[in-house]
Amino acid sequence: MKRKELKNKVAVISGVGGIGKQIAKLFNKEGIQLALADKDINIIHNIIGEFEQDPLIMSCDITNLQQVRELYSKTLEKYDKIDFLVNTVGIILPGSFENTSYEEIEKQININLMGTIHCTKEIIPIMKKAGEGHIITISSLAGIVPETYSSIYTATKFALRGLDWTLYFELKDYNIKISTIFPDSVETPMLEYEAKHNGSPLTFLHDPVRPEEVAEAVLKAIIKEKVEVCIPHTEGILSKLVMCMPSQLKRLWPKYEEKGKIKREEYIKNLERNQK
């Protein structure tokens, strides 16, 4: 797809927090018509004042299947089509697997995996009827390599990668594209939460990327029809390579963790310094 062809396409974005906000702003700039959904509708109101368009906005809990269906119904009423779905919603509750409660396990699975499944499954008949569409899911490098002290988060992100590759093959004959975005740590409130709650040292191994970079990666995935996009690109290559060499993975992991712990402490100190 050429960039100029984006104008007047219609995108549903589920979740307009740190990453979703920047995707919405970039899409608005490109002339893409928007349907913005978030559990907290006030988040949406805080960003649309700078938009040229009047997007559809809805409160939507993606773990509630009926609310997802209503989101699509209202979007079709307003725009008569849905070209893009961008799944951005996700949470992380750091902690060792042993000490993670079943409530925390279920919450992460319900939001990260089942919520995304709801949004994806319900859009497929709509896109099939239209004869085209593109589903983009924001995952994490934790969907490629394991992240200690974030076992359930990692499990959900691994699952989404498997789901999306399967859908790529199942839906290609219907001209429905599938893309998964794998950012390293992103400078969002969720990263700050991880730092303050003993999140995985691997999360802090490298400097975080900006949400704007993730938004650009989404646009790249649409224009170039990329099945996977990793940010940064080099970290994606290294992550995939190391997973092909289990013996090296076991050897390198302790070193990565030690370095990550040091970087996490540096990140926390910078946070405290900036908040003074």
pLDDT given for residue 161 in this prediction: 97
pLDDT value of residue 246: 83
Q: Give the pLDDT confidence score for residue 177 in this predicted structure.
A: 98
Token pair of 231 as six digits:
């940010």
| Distance, CA of 11 to CA of 220 (rounded, Å) | 15
Q: How many domains does the chain have?
A: 1
- Angle, helix 65-79 to helix 116-130, in steps of 10 degrees: 30
Closest CA to 137 of 103, 161, 170: 161
| Amino acid 242: pLDDT | 86
Q: Which residues pair with 58 in a beta bridge?
A: 37
Domain of 263: which CATH number? 3.40.50.720
Cα 8–Cα 134–Cα 60 angle in degrees, nearest 5: 80
DSSP string computed for the chain: --GGGGTT-EEEEE--SHHHHHHHHHHHHTT-EEEEEESSHHHHHTTGGG-SS--EEEE--TT-HHHHHHHHHHHHHHHS---EEEE-------B-TTT--HHHHHHHIIIIIIIHHHHHHHHHHHHHHHT-EEEEEE--GGGTS--TTBHHHHHHHHHHHHHHHHHHHHHGGGTEEEEEEEESSBSSHHHHHHHHTT--GGGGSSPPBPHHHHHHHHHHHHHHT-SEEEESHHHHHHHHHHHT-HHHHHHHHHHHHHHHHHHHHHHHHHHHHHT-
Residue 93 structure tokens: 């509750």
Q: Which residue has the tokens 């070209």?
A: 83
> CB–CB of 156/98 below 8 Å?
no
pLDDT for residue 198: 86
Q: Tell me the residue length of the chain.
A: 276
pLDDT at 256: 87
Name which of 152, 165, 8 is nearest 92 in CA terms.
152
Q: How far apart are CA 181 and CA 229, in angstroms?
A: 5
d(CA 116, CA 27): 20
**pLDDT per position in the chain (276 positions), as tens?**
889 899 999 999 999 988 999 999 999 999 999 999 999 999 999 898 889 899 999 999 999 999 999 999 999 999 999 999 999 999 999 999 999 999 999 999 999 999 999 999 999 999 999 999 999 999 999 999 999 999 999 999 999 999 999 999 999 999 999 999 999 999 988 898 898 888 898 899 888 999 999 999 999 999 999 999 999 999 899 889 989 988 888 888 888 889 989 999 998 888 888 776
Q: What is the pLDDT of residue 250?
A: 85
pLDDT of 219: 97
Range of the domain at 125: 3-274
Q: d(Cα 199, Cα 212) in Å, to the nearest integer?
A: 23
d(CA 198, CA 272): 16
| Residue 91: partners with Cβ closer than 8 Å, 6 or more residues away | 107, 108, 111, 112, 153, 190
